[in-house]
Chain A
Amino acid sequence: DAGVTQSPTHLIKTRGQQVTLRCSPKSGHDTVSWYQQALGQGPQFIFQYYEEEERQRGNFPDRFSGHQFPNYSSELNVNALLLGDSALYLCASSLKKTSGGEYEQYFGPGTRLTVT
């Protein structure tokens, strides 16, 4: 049973460029959340996708956008990259409960983005 997978593992971009990160959820999961983790800090929630719609968003600018596909996989897009966007980007998948909320989130290994 494959866990959460992310690609690429590492990426180097220049300021002002755009980047797309990809995530495949754990088998059986229908919800994908994205987190940003700066060096030495805990992960910060960016947004969550369920049924191909953004359901909840953290305190991140509109430069950060996403998409969820019918097979539940997801993409994170960041436009107009800044040096401060350098971080580990984590994807987590989960399964929604019929009663509301969701079961525990399982994380992928992350994509290390460096902006120069």
Chain B
Amino acid sequence: DAKTTQPPSMDCAEGRAANLPCNHSTISGNEYVYWYRQIHSQGPQYIIHGLKNNETNEMASLIITEDRKSSTLILPHATLRDTAVYYCILRRNAGNMLTFGGGTRLMVKP
């Protein structure tokens, strides 16, 4: 599976939107973009995934560029409980394993 690049850390003010970028310039046509987050000392939590269209659920929105070489996870109104490490992962449609990189440590501040 192709690799992703994320900034190691970001800060966000409570109540504001948190926009987490992810670069995946070598993404293949059959690879989905998945986002997970891991709050300290807990298991990773699934957030959202998409192929080429923008996606939205109750947790977040996922914006994928038209060339699919990058994406942005948006938490519309960040709270202190959103402080976590966020992982952007590429996964083939028929894939099984998840390959985690370093992720982005998001700190939401009051």
A binding-site residues for B, Cβ under 8 Å:
4, 31, 33, 35, 42-45, 48, 55-56, 58, 90, 92, 100-102, 104-110
Cα A105 to Cα B95 in complex, Å, equals 11
Cα A44 to Cα B98 in complex, Å, equals 8
> Is chain A's binding surface mostly helix, strand, loop or mixed?
strand
- Give the interface size bracket for B toward A: 20 to 34
Tell me the smallest distance from the CB of A47 to a CB of chain B, in Å: 9
Determine whether B21 belongs to the interface, using a CB cutoff of 8 Å to chain A: no
A101-B93, A104-B34, A104-B49 known; A45-B43 Cβ under 8 A: no
Q: Is the CB of A48 within 8 A of B97?
A: yes
Q: Quick one: closest A residue to B36, CB to CB?
A: A107
B binding-site residues for A, Cβ under 8 Å:
34, 42-46, 49, 87, 92-103
A42-B102, A104-B34 known; A33-B96 Cβ under 8 A: yes
Cα A105 to Cα B94 in complex, Å, equals 13
Tell me the smallest distance from the CB of A112 to a CB of chain B, in Å: 8
Q: Is the CB of B97 within 8 A of A33?
A: yes
* Residues in chain B near residue A31, CB distance under 8 A: 96
